[in-house]
């Protein structure tokens, strides 16, 4: 699959990274002589961040190339994404060329944050709104607005690269999310102008309070909880009257003077001017990965999108039970992977081995599983954030109630990093007592044992179950 990115700024570069790291070939058209450098820096951040969301390896990276020929960029593309400046005359010109040059099968999306599809297509262009959020390579939301069939095709592709397509029911200026953002932005400008709060204090109010609630529950579900056992009706009865009070200035805009710009820019510099934009981007990305991984565990919000995408990624066959990139959050003050995450990697490998022999989620839902009773870890070499980590698993014993496995962990370059040996017992989840595994699982374990019977005992094995 191939995508063409037209305009390689912050948003275009994020689109390119999202597609590229999901295995698509990417062609970029941008006359800016600095485009290759700028997009290269975005790619570096994306390669550092996106794989850290997953406990399964993403597909092999596609190819990336730059071209100064628009026809060459879009000629055989399956997806074309326009991210040129937010000027309708420029977009009309570009869309006319894309409609002529791109294949009929291609989705043509515009990253516009404000223009409606009727405005984009008023001169005959074949284009829909496909509005993303920065950083595109981490945040899954894409607002789709336009032709129903075109949007449906776009949605299918977007889900395949781990995104969440939201088809906006009716076209409206600024779609859905940016209308909220503009309302919050207007009120924030007033709070700064009137001396109520600084830029830093406003940011703290968001990130220390409702921002955390919104990340997992959004607006209406948060307020449903706030209504207590009586729910949303009680909340609206209690707080509805305040909507008529003059709390906010959402319909008024402060005069955009040089003094206001200088005031906000000065406060912003004082708040975070000690960090470069690239440092702020990496901080943002590390925090987003941590938040998204937390949400993935519960399946809430954007974490559910990551979990579903991960479940659809291809998984390796035996004996490989782990193949992933080490996230930044697994490292410690020494700059390498912390000891507890070696055990976590071994645990993930055990989980995958259980799936391979039929002790999967469906089996556990039936009331049967394995409990770990002993582990032994050998730390043999350093592992760093961004390293590819692979585990190969040997079955040392699977008869009766016992499951004895030995995981050998390798870095992507083949260096032996660690071994994790684990002993587990099969358990009836209703009684919490040991029992024999189901017939299918026992048979699968016997087959693995037969397949591995001729292999020598792994170096370092035999430390548990003695």
Q: Give the pLDDT of residue 341.
A: 96
pLDDT attached to residue 260: 87
Tokens of 93: 């010109």
Global pTM? 0.88
**Partners of 422 in the beta sheet?**
375, 405
Question: Are 73 and 103 within 8 A, CB to CB?
Answer: no
Burial class (CB in 10 A: 0-12, 13-18, 19+), 141: middle
CA distances from 113 to 86, 166, 174, 330 (A): 8, 14, 6, 36
**Is the pLDDT score of 131 beyond 90?**
yes
Matching residue, tokens 């700028």: 38
Around 265, how many Cα atoms within 13 Å sit in the side-chain half-sphere?
A: 7
State the pLDDT at residue 247.
67
Assign 3-state DSSP to the chain and report helix, strand, coil percentages, each to 5.
45, 20, 35
Residue 26 has pLDDT above 90, yes or no: yes
Two structure tokens written together for 327: 């996230």
50 pairs with which residues across the strands?
none
Q: What is the pLDDT of residue 250?
A: 67
- Determine the distance from the C-alpha atom of residue 440 to the mean position of all C-alpha atoms in its chain, rounded to a whole number: 35
Residue 446 has pLDDT above 70, yes or no: yes
The percent of residues in the chain predicted with pLDDT above 90, rounded, is: 80
Evaluate whether 434 touches 426 at the Cβ level (below 8 Å).
yes
Mean pLDDT of 183-197: 93
Mean pLDDT computed over 127-138: 96
> What average pLDDT score do residues 301-315 get?
93
pLDDT in tens, 388-420: 999 999 999 999 999 999 999 999 999 999 999
Mean pLDDT, residues 186-193:
92
Mean pLDDT of the chain: 93
> Is residue 466 over pLDDT 70?
no
CA distance 68 to 90: 17
Average pLDDT of span 324-330: 92
**Nearest C-alpha neighbor of 95 from the set 139, 64, 49, 129:** 129
């Amino acid at each position: 699959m191939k995508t063409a990115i037209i305009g390689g700024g912050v948003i275009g570069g994020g689109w390119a990274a999202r597609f590229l790291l999901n295995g698509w070939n990417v062609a970029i058209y941008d006359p800016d002589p600095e485009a290759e450098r700028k997009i290269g820096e975005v790619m570096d951040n994306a390669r550092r961040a996106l794989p850290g969301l997953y406990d399964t390896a993403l597909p092999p990276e596609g190819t990336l190339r730059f071209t100064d020929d628009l026809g060459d960029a879009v000629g055989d593309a399956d997806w074309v994404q326009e991210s040129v400046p937010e000027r309708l005359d420029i977009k009309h010109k570009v869309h006319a060329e894309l409609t002529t040059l791109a294949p009929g099968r291609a989705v043509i999306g515009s990253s516009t944050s404000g223009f409606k599809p009727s405005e984009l297509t008023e001169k005959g262009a074949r284009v829909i709104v496909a509005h993303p959020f920065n950083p595109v390579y981490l945040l899954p939301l894409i607002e789709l607005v336009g032709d129903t069939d075109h949007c449906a095709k776009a949605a299918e592709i977007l889900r395949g690269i781990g995104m969440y397509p939201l088809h906006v029911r009716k076209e409206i200026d600024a779609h859905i999310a940016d209308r909220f953002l503009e309302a919050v932005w207007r009120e924030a400008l007033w709070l700064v102008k009137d001396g109520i709060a600084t830029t830093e204090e406003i940011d703290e109010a968001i990130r220390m309070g409702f921002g955390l609630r919104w990340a997992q529950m959004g607006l209406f579900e948060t307020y449903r909880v706030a209504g207590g056992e009586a729910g949303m009706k009680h909340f609206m009865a209690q707080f509805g009257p305040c909507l008529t009070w003059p709390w906010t200035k959402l319909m008024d805009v402060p005069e955009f003077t040089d003094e206001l710009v200088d005031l906000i820019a000065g406060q912003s510099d004082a708040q975070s001017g000690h960090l470069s934009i690239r440092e702020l981007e990496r901080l943002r990305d590390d925090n987003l990965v941590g938040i998204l991984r937390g949400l993935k565990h519960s399946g809430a919000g954007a974490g559910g999108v990551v979990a579903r995408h991960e479940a659809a990624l291809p998984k390796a066959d035996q004996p490989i039970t782990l193949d992933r990139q080490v996230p930044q959050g697994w490292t410690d003050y020494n700059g390498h992977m912390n000891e507890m995450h070696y055990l976590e990697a071994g645990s993930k490998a055990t989980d995958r081995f259980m799936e391979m022999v039929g002790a999967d989620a469906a089996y556990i839902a039936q009331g049967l599983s394995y409990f770990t009773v002993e582990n032994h870890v050998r730390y043999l070499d350093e592992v760093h954030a961004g390293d590819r980590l692979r585990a190969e698993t040997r079955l040392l014993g699977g008869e009766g109630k016992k499951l004895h496995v030995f995981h050998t962990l390798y870095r992507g370059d083949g260096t032996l990093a660690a071994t994790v040996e684990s002993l587990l017992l099969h358990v009836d989840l209703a009684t919490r007592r040991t029992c024999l595994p189901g017939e299918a699982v026992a048979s699968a374990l016997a087959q693995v044992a037969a397949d591995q019977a001729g292999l020598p005992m792994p170096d370092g094995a035999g430390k548990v179950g003695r």
